[in-house]
Structure 1
Amino acid sequence: MKFRTLSAVAMMAASLLSSTVAFAQSSDAVIDRIREKNAISIGYREASIPFSYIDKEGRPVGYSTDLCKEVAETVKTALDLPDLKIEWVPVNLQNRIPLVANGTVDISCESAVNTIGRQSQVDFSNPFFISHTRFLVKAGSGIAALADLDGKSIALPINSVPERLIKSLVEKDDLNVRIVPVKDNSEGFLALQTGRADAFSTDDILLFGLKNKAVDPAAYEVVGKPLSYDSYGFLVQKNSTVFLTLVNATLARLSREGELQALYGQWFDPMGVPLSPDLATVFHVIAIPE
């Protein structure tokens, strides 16, 4: 038994060594940039709570941010760059895809929904979260569904999946809903707070994040049935196969070892959002063996 255990450990070590050597001998545009700069540029958002946002000290933090720190560690080992630095680059809904596509950002680590349209411009990692489009409203507003917004207004983030979805549903149901365009989640929440909009719609997990960070969380509620099924992935430059493999290998390892589930608990349990059966299944699926 002891011999078989030692043999298994030896085989695993040999496998890891051969994988590292293979990556060290492989390359793509992102890998070349990282080697040249001895740095990896990670895109982050300022108010995509709890995925990627700025803390009180002005540092990027969040669930996605933690995952991409693990990606950086994987890259450091695979490319034998012990002094690899992380360059944090702020991104928003409007510029994140162009910055990844042109190579300014090596990986955007926030809350990007994987869509066919976006796949024409960038590549996505394996999914690490599942979300749904819903509404954030003031408590006691009487708004529980899109139909309740007839004759009212809704704030929608520009160039987002929820914006396109809600607009199409408003047109389909012939509703009289005034659209208030906002640049990000902070502006959308402000529009709701100040009465510029009767509701703010985006991914429900982001709405829970805004609600929990409010001065009075009880003054707001997330309502409505799920209007979409959206998977989040990290954005990387097109055709960066070697780098994307390292990203997905990191997610697979974290899932196999239970770290992905632990990070979920760290960031989402305090929000009262338990791990859903859908996301639990995703974690199992992405735990690809080495």
Structure 2
Amino acid sequence: MKLSALSAAVLLAALAATSAQAGDTLAKAAEANKITFAYRESSVPFSYLDGPGKPIGFAVDISNAVAEAVKKQTGKADLKVEWMPVTSQNRIPLLNNGTVDLECGSTTNNSARGKDVDFAINHFYTGTRLLVKKSSGIKDWADLKGKKVAITTGTTNMLVVRKYNDEKKLGIDVVGTKDHADALLLVETDRAAAFPMDDILLYGLKANAKDPASLEVVGEALQVEPYACMVRKDDPKFKALVDGVITGMMKSGEFEKLYDKWFMGPIPPKNQAVGLPMSDELRNNIKSPSDKPAT
């Protein structure tokens, strides 16, 4: 059946309106009376599980603050907040297809990802180092020559390590894993010599490992990259809200209190402290908030 010009115009207008609404997170949340946040299952201390379906962490607390701001902005005091687990591989697709509305965890803000999503104000800075067994004798990258390492698939760390491996001709055998906990297990069971990853995640995983004393974080950082929350592209109202929440926390001192809670004090489930003081890069970002990506 042929559409008349008027019917076609009406249909196109309806589709355009639906598309616009899909790109407007606040409108989407108000209509559904629901917003969905992503969480990671083992990105300690940013976003991880403290029991089935119970995400906690530094980035989860930021997400909860965003939820309160969304409730005020939409006038929906009873707005339902749902949580969905994501991995390094599916976090961007699930954000872009509308399954989740905010991904706040341990995601590097870089120019490549910036083509697909927008990033909020940077909330952490980290570099790729190595988690190894103390008994391994590995102290730096050169000690990995000819050895097997485990790296979470879909991370910038895998790209960085592959490039370094090629440049230095170390012959490292890189094995991809689904998530950080899987890579840690390969090291703990001697099926991989090291787990290269963002240093803060390694400290967090070590603190909650079965035998923390048997592990150590070693090696020089290959690069320094910022973490930031991801929002859908071309949604300036929601990005402005998330940015406002984070900069507000930075100006009020709440951000530093949150940092001390998750990075310096004892955290669940073992009440071990990560013990990583705030970096100069992050302190500078608190003074002058920026969403500048890594190159």
Within 5 Å, give how 1:201-280 maps onto structure 2: 201-269=196-264, 270-280=273-283
Q: CA deviation digits over 1:131-167, x for unaligned, max 9?
A: 1110000013221111110021111111110000000
Within 5 Å, give how 1:7-86 maps onto structure 2: 29-86=24-81
Q: Between Structure 1 and Structure 2, how many residues are aligned?
A: 263
Structure 2 length-normalised TM: 0.86
Task: Answer yes or no: is 1:286 the counterpart of 2:286.
Answer: no
Task: Answer yes or no: is 1:148 the counterpart of 2:151.
Answer: no
Structure 1 length-normalised TM: 0.88
Q: CA deviation digits over 1:194-237, x for unaligned, max 9?
A: 11100001100000011000122110000011111110111111
Equivalent position amino acid for 2:259 in 1 = Y
CA distance in structure 1 between the partners assigned to 2:206 and 2:69 by the alignment: 34
Give the secondary-structure state (helix, strand or coil) at the position aligned to 1:50: coil
Task: Answer yes or no: is 1:95 the counterpart of 2:98.
Answer: no
Shift of residue 178, structure 1, vs aligned partner? 1.1
CA distance in structure 2 between the partners assigned to 1:287 and 1:92 by the alignment: 25
Shift of residue 27, structure 1, vs aligned partner? 10
Give the secondary-structure state (helix, strand or coil) at the position aligned to 2:136: coil
Name the Cα RMSD after superposition: 1.6
Q: CA deviation digits over 1:70-120, x for unaligned, max 9?
A: 001111112211111101011111110001111111101111001111111
Mind listing any 5+ residue stretches in structure 1 that lack a counterpart?
1-25
CA distance in structure 1 between the partners assigned to 2:65 and 2:118 by the alignment: 19
Q: CA deviation digits over 1:224-277, x for unaligned, max 9?
A: 111111101111111010000000000011011100000000000021111122
Give the secondary-structure state (helix, strand or coil) at the position aligned to 2:154: coil
Shift of residue 287, structure 1, vs aligned partner? 8.9
Equivalent position amino acid for 1:274 in 2 = P
Residue aligning to 2:121 = 126
Contact 2:22 2:28 in 1 (8 A): no
Equivalent position amino acid for 2:132 in 1 = V
Mind listing any 5+ residue stretches in structure 2 that lack a counterpart?
1-20, 265-272
Residue aligning to 2:178 = 183
Residue aligning to 1:13 = none
CA distance in structure 2 between the partners assigned to 1:62 and 1:189 by the alignment: 19
| Aligned residues with identical type, % of pairs | 40
The runs of 4+ residues in structure 1 deviating greater than 3 Å are: none
Residue aligning to 2:156 = 161
CA distance in structure 2 between the partners assigned to 1:165 and 1:260 by the alignment: 30
Give the secondary-structure state (helix, strand or coil) at the position aligned to 1:225: coil
